Structure formats: C-alpha cells, structure tokens
Chain A
Amino acid sequence: MKRFLFMIVLILVFTVPASAETGVKKRRPLPYEYGRVVINNYSTKAYLAPVVFNHWLHRANFTCRLCHVDLAFAMKAGATGIRASDNIKGYYCGSCHNGVMQWQDRKVFEACSKEYGNKDISRCERCHSLDKDVKKEYDFGKFTGKLPKERFGNGIDWEKAEAEGLIKPIGYLPGISIKRPQLKIQKDFSLEPKVLGMPQIIFSHKKHIVWNGCELCHPEIFAGVKKGLTKYSMPEIFEGKYCGACHGLVAFPLLDCQRCHTKPVEETPGPQAEQKGPVKQGISGQIQQRQSARTALADDGGLKR
C-alpha cells in the first residue's frame, strides 16, 4: 500500500509541473501569418466566418498612414467596428474594395454587400476566410520571393525592399486622402538604454515618416512633449505600448534587438577607466562589465558585500 501511494506521489511530482509548462506557450507566427488580424465584430452574427486581414499584402502596396489616418482604421484589432454598410458606402475596406478601383493589372474586388446570395459567397469568403480553405489571389511565397530577406516577422526587410524600389507603397487615395506638401524630415535622435553596455537606440524619423507621417504616432502612441521626460521600458513595449504598438505586431518584432539598438557603446571614463578598447556588448559583456564595476567599487570601499 505504501509503495502504491509512493508511486502516485512520484507520478504527481513529475507530471504536474510538466503539464503546467505546456499549453500556455505562445506559438511564434509563421512568416505569412505575421501581422495577420482576425476581425469578428459582426461576421459570425451574419453567419459568415471572421475576416482574416493580411498586413503583408497591404503594407507592400500602401503606407500605414493611408489606412490608419486617411481611412481612419484604428491601430488595435477590432477597434474600428467595420460594418458591411460602411464598406458599401465607400468607407474603410470599401474605399478600395469597390469593384471599380483599378490596381496594377486588375480591378479590386468589391467588399461584401449587406445582403448576399449563394453566388456572392465566394466573393465574401475572400476576406471572411478564417478556418476556411480559400485559395488566395496572392501567394505569400510568390509575392515575397524577390524581396530582401530578414530574420524575423514576415522574413522580409520591408525598408530595404522600398529603398531598392521593389515595393512602392502609395500614400494617397484620390477622393479620400488630403494633398499634403512633402514632409520635412525631423532629426534622428538617440535614446540611452537603462542597461549598462547595451547599444544606444538610434531613432530614425526618416524611416518612420515615410510610412507613418506625424499624426499616426503623435500624440496617440508617443505623447511625451519633452525629450527625455518619458521613460520607455521594454516590458511596456512588449505589452504593446510605444514602439510595441507596431513592432511585434506588424513591423519587425522586438526580438530583432540590433535593428534599434544600433549605436555602439562609447567608452566612458569612470572606475574602470583603465579598460581600453570598446566596451563589450551583449549580455556576457554586460555581466563582465558589472562584475568589474563591482570589484572596482568594492576596492574603493563603495560597495560592501
């Protein structure tokens, strides 16, 4: 009996933590899934599958500003509350998906109508496609085949693709967008990371305004009016604040540290001033740096163990 109870306890000891660790881990999206938005405000109520919106196809052709400023799409999934009637009137998706607009060599298909019959189903299912085996007009592999590659996100370096003229996102839709003068580029600036030894962040206004303009980020995402006053933290960014409003969802993910933390750390005079050469970067560099700083402080009597 004792042996039996011992066996049960042993099984529980090993299986409970193991089962607790599984099932909660979030799967990293595949390149074609990255930036995907599922919209289900009213779809299932209308007996349709939720809409699957692929950012990769739209971002290759249109700027963020066009959709999120001129067409007034919210920055959070589902927050716009798009209705079929809105599309029919030529708002939101209906601004382009109206069966009239010409895009490259084809007409942009019309969005769903409020009432639909069997013959319209295949058209509706081009967007209302969650868990449906719908053949898409554009294949991710074919579409992105010639674009420069990156490690994370969609696996595409969108910035480079635009710089090389492989994609030409438009930022003006006649009848909807406002004609604006060419935007003057604001200066780049650096942000000091809190972690010692971590390369500085060089924020490029140039890179961001090409796609966003000013009003997409200010003041909704970045409300601080004085440089250095707002303290940005990585946990907040991972939660979707600040840079995390785009990076991690549509723009390259936060795993790609070196794309923001680009400026090498400069040597600063201090307790370890005798250390010559560039300061070691990365986690191991930071650990070494902290250890040497501690030793130096302890030698000075500044840090007691």
Chain B
Amino acid sequence: MKTAGAGEAASKIGLLLLAISLTAALLCPGIAHPEDSWLKEFEAVCSQTDDAMDMTKDQLDQLVERCNRLKPDIEKQDEITKKVYLKRLDSCRSLYEFILETKYKQ
C-alpha cells in the first residue's frame, strides 16, 4: 500500500516536470531555437577547413554538398547576417572545392 502511494507520487512529479520542461521549451526561444540550426550546421561544416587536406574525395564532396544545402537557409537571415555568413560559407566551401580539385588533378 505504501509502495503504491510512493509510485503514484513519483509519476505525478514526473508529469509535473515534463509539463514544466515543455512550457519552458515553448516560452524560451533561446532553448532549442529552431532558427539557430543553420548556425550549428555552419559551425559543423566550416570547422573542418584545417583538416581538409587529409580528407578523402568523398568526404570533401559531402562537405561541399552540405555547404550548398546550407546556403538557402543563410539567405533567409537578415541583411547583415546574410552578408557576413554567406562570405564565410563561401570561403570554406571554396577551400573544400579547391582541395577536391587538387586531389582529382594529382
């Protein structure tokens, strides 16, 4: 009897915590901000420029493709964010493409 009561209380607390976290997710745009996903992808893609020389053609191809897919998302941003991040994206995409071309010609 005592254990059943404790279990019920635990499930109530669990439900309460779930409700709180869902409300927080809806109210606070800083947490799991859907618009920031492009920025995370940008950082993931362009953080590999220093390793690019050691990558295979396939890996480089994939990175170029990821850059291409990311471009339309950056184009949706405000004017200055778009200007800065498109230039940054272009410099890392161009590097991947340059190394890829180098590898094909070698």
A interface vs B, CB < 8 Å?
69-72, 83, 85-86, 89, 91-92, 178-184, 186, 213-216, 218-220, 223, 225-226
Contacts and interface: CB of A to CB of B under 8 A. Distances in A.
Contacts of B87: 72
A226 B102 contact: yes
Contacts of A85: 80
A179 B47 contact: yes
Interface stretch (B3-11, B48-56, B68-76): B48-56
Interface string B17-54: 00000000000000000000000000100111111111
A86 B47 contact: no
Interface residues of B, number: 28
Given A91-B84, A225-B105, A226-B105, A219 B47 contact: no
Contacts of A86: 80
Contact of B47 (A72, A89, A180, A182): A180
Given A69-B88, A214-B95, A91 B49 contact: no
Contact of B95 (A180, A183, A186, A215): A215
B98 A178 contact: no
B43 A178 contact: yes
Contacts of B81: 91
Closest 7 interchain pairs by CB?
Answer: A219-B98, A183-B50, A225-B102, A215-B95, A72-B87, A178-B47, A72-B84
Nearest to B45: A178
Given A86-B80, A178-B47, A225-B105, A219 B95 contact: yes
A92 to B, nearest CB: 8
Given A178-B43, A184-B54, A225-B101, A219 B94 contact: yes
B71 to A, nearest CB: 15
Given A178-B43, A179-B47, A223-B98, A69 B54 contact: no
Contacts of B62: none
Interface of B: 43, 46-54, 80-81, 83-85, 87-88, 91-92, 94-95, 97-99, 101-102, 105-106
Given A91-B80, A218-B99, 20 more contacts: A69-B88, A72-B85, A85-B80, A89-B80, A179-B47, A180-B47, A181-B47, A181-B51, A184-B53, A213-B50, A214-B49, A214-B52, A214-B53, A215-B49, A215-B92, A215-B94, A216-B91, A218-B94, A218-B95, A226-B102
Contact of B88 (A70, A183, A213, A214): A70
19 contacts: A69-B91, A72-B84, A72-B88, A89-B80, A91-B84, A92-B84, A178-B47, A179-B43, A180-B47, A181-B47, A186-B53, A214-B53, A215-B92, A219-B94, A219-B97, A225-B98, A225-B102, A225-B105, A226-B106
A214 B80 contact: no
A181 B46 CA distance: 11
Contacts of A215: 49, 91-92, 94-95
Nearest to A95: B84
B91 A184 contact: no
